[in-house]
């Protein structure tokens, strides 16, 4: 099959949906291709096991080479916006100044980004998580922070009515949202793109992309194995950090982009559980209500979040085997959990092994370990100040914010993408996902991915 479009967007996740919304609104004939399935609120997976298997690449997680960090990335229409916690934060001057210094791009500043954050925010509802409904897990976090003198803030979340006042428990919302409250892209930017005429092809995995004779060619395969070929004037890669890097490597771009796959970051997160004498029941009420808002933590390169860890996740993370593990799991209702997220400084590398399998080399160096340890000290202080009986560290790190590999740069020796979002050496291939990030910001990335994608969409439409 061959079809012609003004633009093809690969990936219907956070970046892809936002760029498609702008292009379609400007009248472009736009095709969005997504490897994953579409789920509505009525048929989205209900449990953790089902959710891991259906909504993520490789059944739930991919490990780095040393199996010390598990990376999670979504494979579903909506991408990360379906499986994430929808916490939406703008970057501060610490993150943006670092990006500007690394790339020379003057618009990477709080003032330069402000209109794009406004545009991204304008497409969704953002609400603070109500303190009135904070559960015991969140209350312990807050009390511990107060006792230790640490700054703490309520979370800003993409949601439009979680009905906590009716006693709703939102612990399923990492697997979609049965209330259509979470502001995932199928309810927001992707829906807007489709209403403006964009086409969406689901369960179709793109295998290679190429650019020749004034157009781009996309070769893909449907879930039933049937090959597909599409052509367009412009291409936007938004397959997420691992997806976009792998796609370019499989398409032979490694020869043209000398640092392709380098500069990979993931905000390694470490979960800590604390057992209390009285039940905590972290599974009740809102998933999560608070985050650290502490300048000394920011300066030390970590942040803390009050999170809920669901049973399968907890079972994977808790130490011990056999009967010991069973005893630990039996106490689950008595656990509070806090996560340390490290603003990692030591870049990793994405590559392809023989046979095309994705390899992720990503470790913590001395500085990143120091940051993780400083975070753990703070967690210990918070748990101890609230009477925890025992603290159990999770067994491995988790990477939820996958970034880089196609970073913005001045020249091809330093990165893969120029300030106009085009691959170096390409006229027609643009990038609109987290792979653009030149370093780890230490802040939730989604709102910035949306803002960057909106900026690209407007820029492409204007140039045309
Ligand atoms: C459990 C979890 C919790 C998180 N919580 C938060 C949070 O609270 N706040 C926050 O800001 N961030 C959070 N994140 C991170 C955030 O979701 C991601 O950073 C964001 O989704 C990345 O956007 P993206 O556009 O780069 O890629 P994605 O949103 O991942 O979209 C990429 C899409 O491309 C598709 N794709 C990949 N390869 C191909 C191919 N070859 N062909 C066709 N399609 C392809 C994928 O299936 C996917 O749907 C969380 C992530 C996880 C996993």
Nearest CA to ligand 1 atom 37: 239
Q: Flag whether pLDDT at 61 surpasses 90.
A: no
Distance separating alpha carbons of residues 248 and 261, to the nearest angstrom: 9
What pLDDT is stored for residue 1 in this prediction? 44
**Residue 74 alpha carbon to ligand 1 centre in Å:** 5
For residue range 186-245, what is the model confidence (pLDDT) as tens digits?
Answer: 999 999 999 999 999 999 999 999 998 789 999 999 999 999 999 999 999 999 999 999
Q: How large is the average pLDDT for residues 178-187? A: 95
- Enumerate the β-bridge partners of residue 418: none
**Coil, helix or strand at residue 127:** strand
Ligand 1, residue 11: give the atom nearest the CA: 34
What pLDDT is stored for residue 458 in this prediction? 98
| Substitution candidate for ligand 1 out of 121, 239, 271, 306 with most atoms within 8 A of CB | 239
Q: What is the pTM of this model?
A: 0.98
Strands 358-361 and 397-399: unpaired
Ligand 1, residue 86: give the atom nearest the CA: 8
Of the CATH numbers 2.60.120, 1.10.357, 3.30.410, 3.30.720, which one belongs to the domain with range 62-68+128-175+267-399? 3.30.410
Say if ligand 1 is within 6 A of residue 274 CB. Answer: no
Residues with Cβ within 8 Å of 264's Cβ and at least 6 positions away in sequence, in order, are: 241, 245, 347, 348, 349, 350, 360, 362, 402, 403, 404, 405
Say if ligand 1 is within 6 A of residue 51 CB. Answer: no
Ligand 1, residue 447: give the atom nearest the CA: 11
Q: How large is the average pLDDT for residues 438-456? A: 98
Say if ligand 1 is within 6 A of residue 432 CB. Answer: no
Say if ligand 1 is within 6 A of residue 394 CB. Answer: no
What burial class does residue 321 get, using C-beta atoms within 10 Å of its C-beta: 0-12 exposed, 13-18 middle, 19+ buried?
exposed
Q: How large is the average pLDDT for residues 143-160? A: 96
Q: Flag whether pLDDT at 44 surpasses 80.
A: yes
**Residue 18 alpha carbon to ligand 1 centre in Å:** 13
The angle at the Cα of 18, spanning 70 to 223, to the nearest 5 degrees, equals 60
* Average pLDDT along the chain: 95
CATH, range 1-38+76-124+183-264+403-464? 3.50.50.60
The angle at the Cα of 255, spanning 20 to 30, to the nearest 5 degrees, equals 15
**Residue 327 alpha carbon to ligand 1 centre in Å:** 35
Distance separating alpha carbons of residues 79 and 16, to the nearest angstrom: 9
**Residue 148 alpha carbon to ligand 1 centre in Å:** 35
Say if ligand 1 is within 6 A of residue 249 CB. Answer: no
Say if ligand 1 is within 6 A of residue 33 CB. Answer: yes
**Residue 64 alpha carbon to ligand 1 centre in Å:** 18
Q: Flag whether pLDDT at 130 surpasses 90.
A: no
State the span(s) of the chain assigned CATH 3.30.410.
62-68+128-175+267-399
For residue range 351-376, what is the model confidence (pLDDT) as tens digits?
Answer: 999 888 999 999 999 999 999 999 99
Task: Supply the DSSP symbol for 187.
Answer: G
Say if ligand 1 is within 6 A of residue 379 CB. Answer: no
Residues with Cβ within 8 Å of 243's Cβ and at least 6 positions away in sequence, in order, are: 10, 11, 35, 73, 433
Say if ligand 1 is within 6 A of residue 74 CB. Answer: yes
Distance separating alpha carbons of residues 245 and 413, to the nearest angstrom: 16
The position carrying tokens 């403006």 is 196
**Residue 72 alpha carbon to ligand 1 centre in Å:** 9
* pLDDT-based confidence at residue 3 (cuts at 50, 70, 90): low
Say if ligand 1 is within 6 A of residue 404 CB. Answer: no
State the span(s) of the chain assigned CATH 3.50.50.60.
1-38+76-124+183-264+403-464
Which among 150, 210, 181, 204 is positioned nearest to 37, based on CA atoms? Answer: 204
Which among 228, 265, 234, 250 is positioned nearest to 34, based on CA atoms? Answer: 228
**Coil, helix or strand at residue 37:** strand
Say if ligand 1 is within 6 A of residue 86 CB. Answer: yes
| Substitution candidate for ligand 1 out of 11, 266, 399 with most atoms within 8 A of CB | 11
């Amino acid at each position: 099959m061959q079809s012609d479009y003004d633009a093809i967007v690969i990936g219907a996740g956070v970046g892809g949906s936002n760029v498609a919304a702008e292009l379609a609104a400007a009248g472009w004939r736009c095709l969005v291709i997504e490897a994953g399935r579409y789920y509505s609120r009525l048929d989205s997976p209900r449990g953790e096991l089902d959710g891991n298997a259906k909504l993520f690449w490789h059944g739930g997680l991919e490990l780095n080479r040393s199996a010390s960090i598990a990376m999670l990335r979504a494979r579903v229409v909506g991408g990360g916006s379906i499986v994430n916690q929808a916490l939406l934060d703008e970057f501060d001057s610490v993150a943006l100044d670092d990006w500007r210094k690394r790339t020379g791009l003057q618009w990477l500043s709080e003032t330069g980004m402000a209109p794009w954050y406004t545009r991204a925010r304008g497409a969704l509802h953002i609400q603070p998580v109500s303190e009135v409904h904070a559960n015991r897990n969140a209350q312990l976090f807050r009390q511990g922070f107060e006792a230790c003198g640490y700054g703490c803030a309520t979370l800003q979340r993409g949601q439009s009515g979680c009905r906590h006042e009716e006693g709703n428990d939102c612990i399923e919302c990492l697997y979609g949202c049965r209330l259509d409250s979470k502001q995932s892209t199928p309810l927001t930017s992707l829906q807007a793109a489709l209403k403006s005429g964009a086409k969406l092809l689901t369960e179709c995995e793109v295998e290679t992309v190429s650019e020749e004779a004034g157009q781009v060619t996309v070769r893909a395969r449907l879930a039933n194995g049937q090959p597909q070929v599409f052509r367009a004037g412009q291409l936007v890669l938004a397959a997420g950090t691992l997806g976009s890097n792998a796609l370019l490597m499989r398409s032979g771009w490694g020869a043209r982009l000398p640092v392709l796959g380098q500069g990979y970051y993931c905000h390694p997160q470490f979960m800590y559980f604390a057992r209390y004498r009285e039940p905590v029941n972290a599974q009740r009420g809102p998933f999560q209500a608070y985050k650290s808002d502490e300048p000394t933590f920011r300066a030390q390169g970590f942040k803390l979040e009050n999170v809920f860890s669901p049973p399968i996740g907890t079972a994977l993370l808790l130490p011990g085997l056999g009967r010991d593990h069973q005893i630990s799991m039996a106490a689950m209702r008595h656990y509070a959990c806090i996560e340390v997220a490290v603003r990692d400084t030591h870049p990793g590398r994405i590559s392809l092994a023989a046979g095309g399998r994705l390899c992720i080399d990503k470790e913590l160096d001395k500085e990143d370990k120091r940051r993780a340890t400083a975070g753990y000290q703070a967690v210990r202080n918070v748990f101890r100040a609230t009477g925890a009986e025992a603290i159990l560290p999770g067994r491995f790190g988790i990477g939820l914010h996958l970034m880089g590999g196609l970073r913005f740069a001045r020249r091809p020796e330093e990165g893969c993408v120029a300030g106009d979002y085009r691959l170096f050496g390409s006229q027609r291939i643009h990038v609109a996902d987290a792979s653009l990030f030149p370093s780890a910001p230490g802040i939730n990335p989604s709102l910035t991915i949306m803002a960057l994608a909106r900026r690209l969409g407007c820029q492409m439409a204007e140039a045309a």
